[in-house]
Chains A and B, each alone.
Chain A
Amino acid sequence: MNGALVTDLGFALVRYRVLVILAVTFSVASIWVPGFFSAGTLSLSLDRAATMGLLAVGLTVVLLAGQLDLSGGAILAVAGITAIGLQESMGQIPAAFVGVMVGVLAGGLNAFLVVVLRINSLVATLASMLFIRAVGHYITDSRPVSGIDPFFGLTVSRPIEGTITGRSLLFLVAIVVLHFWLTRTVSGRNMFAVGSNFVSATASGVRSRAYLAGSFVFSGAMAGIAGVIQSLSVNTGSPVFGESIVLTAIAAVVIGGTRLEGGRASAGGTLGGVLTLGALTTAMEFQNIPAYIQQIAAGLILLLLILLDQLVSRRNSRDVGLRSLVRRMKALSRPHQEKERKHISHEN
């Protein structure tokens, strides 16, 4: 058989590694957890990952822009505190709205630090993370706050019509919207341009700095939504919520094939990454496997996937897209064309 095609098929496996790893995780999970594929278990598994998934949606855009946002966990905490703490004075729905606005505002702070003051996003969001979490401790006196009506939050954590929960639905909607935004709109395409080459994007008339700022505001807003949802579901706001959630969310996004260098991301990949980590947690918790073993497994998956990513990205010139592979498999019966194609791709 055609040797190059076999190699490329191998690379295609690596390229669609999210699907592979998701399939492996699900198989392992279905062996470990009896009835894993029952609607109830799947729904629960998705529900567990939904809050982290909402953060991951925001982070996908920030990472696509070639930046980093460590402040998501702190924003989540403060947005939740706001949404719960203001319930008494302004009602539940307005308070939730203000909570999301807090996220937008915090995202705006990050945007200001990175875009206007030109601080490296790693350090800038580290600073805002410390700052925002300290604000959370300050306004609550480091004590958790409780909401007025524990039943109100059930709308987000209760399964709708026996299927998936409100927050899972929200997460899935966010993924679909992100997918259409990134693949079907001009601003989505511009986001890719800004992430892959800031200077060229600017030179081509894209307002790169505005896009950069927008990515942080979006990430802040998603963290705000995640925080409000999280706090409503437990009817509590606490300054210690979400201490390690950002790192998990970044891991999920990176497992989904997004690169920290920017310029590459997909909503489907992020969905795959979130589901992988969600299924892993559910399966391991079901087996009573301690949290630290889960950490090792999650870390190893992350490490394996980034190494595979390095492997593929060095062969960027090879076209291992699904369409191209199908075309070339068909072309196997017509060797001449194949040779011609190979010749062309060599020149590239």
Chain B
Amino acid sequence: MTEAMPPVPVPVASRVLAQSGLTRVRGWIGLPAGVVLVLIVGSILSDKFLSVSNLTNVLISMSIVGLIVVGMTFVFISRGLADLSVPATVGLGGILVLGLQPSLGSLVAGIVGVLAAAVAGFINGGLIGWARVNPVIATLAVGTIVLGVAQAFVGGVIVYGTDTATQDFINSRILGGVPVIVLIFLSVAALGHILLSRTTIGRYTYAVGSNPAASEASAVPVKFTRAFAFLLTGALGGFAGVILGLSLQTARPTLGIGYEFDAITAVVVGGVSLLGGVGSIPRAMSGLLFVQLLTNIMVLQGVPSPVQGIAKGAMIAGAVALDVYLRRRGGTQ
């Protein structure tokens, strides 16, 4: 039976397979290797670096932006460019949860905050998916309006909360020292990963990002899928704002400024392409981890914060340039 088979395709196929296997390894090995390298460098430079308390601190500091990274990954993969309304949705979530806390209680106020931010995300999605407005300008306009509305809601002042019980719970550690905020982040990241890799909407997200025309022809709901990415980012931005507001018990309108760029940095360093169709939540998360560990090392080394900014800018440019170079050289995608 086996001798009757045509011998030709086997070696050819295996050679192709071996090549694509190598490309595949080269595709994902870079970042984990980078993270390990940073860990080694960090532990050589400082003996405080590789301690449980320091690494826990790194996890806590990446938790809030990590929530947004999950949404931003969907936006990137669905070729939605980027969501610049994140500062507005974070601010909205934070202001609403503390503003409504006296009348509704923290939990309900938090839910209202997330829903309101989700509505903002839905408007983004509607404009981008159905009205085909450029994502940059759409999220810019919606972000401006939403932040204005959030400020108008409280009269443009800083909101203070009084629910110290919830604050203590969010800042506490459970299950033998795991911070609650990290648990929240990890479960959202896990849910996001399942959503992206195991469900229909996740598959649609990749399809829409890699070839919108072909997806449209294959009856993939392109508009809905693209809108969904922005809806998700809006809701997660609001959620991040709620958690941030509850853990600080103060919220100012500028609460979320900078989170959009931090999230984009993490996603880009994680090698998720702005051209869509490629990437995953774990990759984005390792990008985030890489950036955070590097920042942590610089802080421990007493590097002044302007230099950290310079390094961050150079890192984004370097990561994308490398990505573009590898793509052109490998001829993949």
Asked if A185 is at the interface of the complex by the 8 Å CB criterion, the answer is no
Inter-chain contact A310/B321, CB cutoff 8 Å = no
Prevailing SS type, chain A contact patch: helix
B residues less than 8 Å from A310 (CB atoms):
131-133
Asked if B61 is at the interface of the complex by the 8 Å CB criterion, the answer is no
A residues less than 8 Å from B304 (CB atoms):
138
Asked if B308 is at the interface of the complex by the 8 Å CB criterion, the answer is yes
Q: Given that A290-B156, A296-B145, A299-B145 are known contacts, is A142 also in contact with B137, CB under 8 Å in the complex?
A: no
Inter-chain contact A247/B309, CB cutoff 8 Å = no
Cβ proximity bits A297-328 to B, threshold 8 Å, 1 near / 0 not: 01110110011001000000000000000000
Q: Given that A130-B261, A130-B316, A292-B148 are known contacts, is A119 also in contact with B321, CB under 8 Å in the complex?
A: yes
Inter-chain contact B317/A260, CB cutoff 8 Å = no
- Stretch in A120-128, A152-160, A172-180, A199-207 with 4+ CB within 8 Å of B: A120-128
Asked if A133 is at the interface of the complex by the 8 Å CB criterion, the answer is yes
Inter-chain contact A123/B309, CB cutoff 8 Å = no
Asked if A134 is at the interface of the complex by the 8 Å CB criterion, the answer is yes
Inter-chain contact B141/A261, CB cutoff 8 Å = no
Inter-chain contact A134/B320, CB cutoff 8 Å = no
Minimum CB–CB distance for A277 against chain B, Å: 12
Inter-chain contact B145/A134, CB cutoff 8 Å = no
A residues less than 8 Å from B137 (CB atoms):
250-251, 254, 260, 302, 306
- Once the chains are docked, how many angstroms separate the CA of A135 from the CA of B307? 8
Asked if A183 is at the interface of the complex by the 8 Å CB criterion, the answer is no
A residues less than 8 Å from B151 (CB atoms):
290, 292, 295
Inter-chain contact A307/B133, CB cutoff 8 Å = yes
Asked if A117 is at the interface of the complex by the 8 Å CB criterion, the answer is yes
B residues less than 8 Å from A254 (CB atoms):
137
- Once the chains are docked, how many angstroms separate the CA of A135 from the CA of B317? 16
Inter-chain contact B148/A299, CB cutoff 8 Å = yes
- Once the chains are docked, how many angstroms separate the CA of A312 from the CA of B152? 33
Asked if B331 is at the interface of the complex by the 8 Å CB criterion, the answer is no
Q: Given that A68-B136, A250-B137 are known contacts, is A123 also in contact with B152, CB under 8 Å in the complex?
A: no
Q: Given that A119-B324, A120-B274, A307-B133 are known contacts, is A138 also in contact with B253, CB under 8 Å in the complex?
A: no
Inter-chain contact B321/A134, CB cutoff 8 Å = no
- Once the chains are docked, how many angstroms separate the CA of A318 from the CA of B275? 32
Name which of A113, A138, A303, A306 has the most chain B CB atoms within 10 A of its CB. A303
From B84, B132, B141, B317, give the contact of A299 (CB < 8 A).
B141
Inter-chain contact B144/A302, CB cutoff 8 Å = yes
Q: Which residue of B lies closest to A292 (CB)?
A: B151
Minimum CB–CB distance for A281 against chain B, Å: 13
Minimum CB–CB distance for B221 against chain A, Å: 20
Asked if B165 is at the interface of the complex by the 8 Å CB criterion, the answer is no
From A119, A136, A142, A251, give the contact of B317 (CB < 8 A).
A119
Cβ proximity bits B113-156 to A, threshold 8 Å, 1 near / 0 not: 00000000000000100011110111011111101110110001
Asked if B305 is at the interface of the complex by the 8 Å CB criterion, the answer is yes
Inter-chain contact B320/A131, CB cutoff 8 Å = no
Asked if A1 is at the interface of the complex by the 8 Å CB criterion, the answer is no
- Once the chains are docked, how many angstroms separate the CA of A282 from the CA of B127? 30
Inter-chain contact B313/A130, CB cutoff 8 Å = yes
Inter-chain contact B136/A296, CB cutoff 8 Å = no
Asked if B81 is at the interface of the complex by the 8 Å CB criterion, the answer is yes
Inter-chain contact A303/B142, CB cutoff 8 Å = yes
Inter-chain contact B148/A134, CB cutoff 8 Å = no
Minimum CB–CB distance for B234 against chain A, Å: 15
Q: Which residue of A lies closest to B312 (CB)?
A: A130
Interface hits, B52-75 → A, CB 8 Å: none
Inter-chain contact A296/B152, CB cutoff 8 Å = yes
Asked if A209 is at the interface of the complex by the 8 Å CB criterion, the answer is no
Cβ proximity bits A135-174 to B, threshold 8 Å, 1 near / 0 not: 1111000100000000000000000000000000000000
14 A-B contact pairs sorted by A residue (CB < 8 Å): A118-B328, A120-B274, A128-B313, A131-B310, A138-B310, A260-B134, A260-B136, A293-B148, A295-B145, A295-B148, A296-B145, A300-B145, A303-B138, A306-B137
For the complex of A and B, the 7 pairs showing the least CB-CB separation, nearest first, are A134-B309, A131-B313, A299-B144, A296-B148, A299-B145, A292-B151, A295-B148
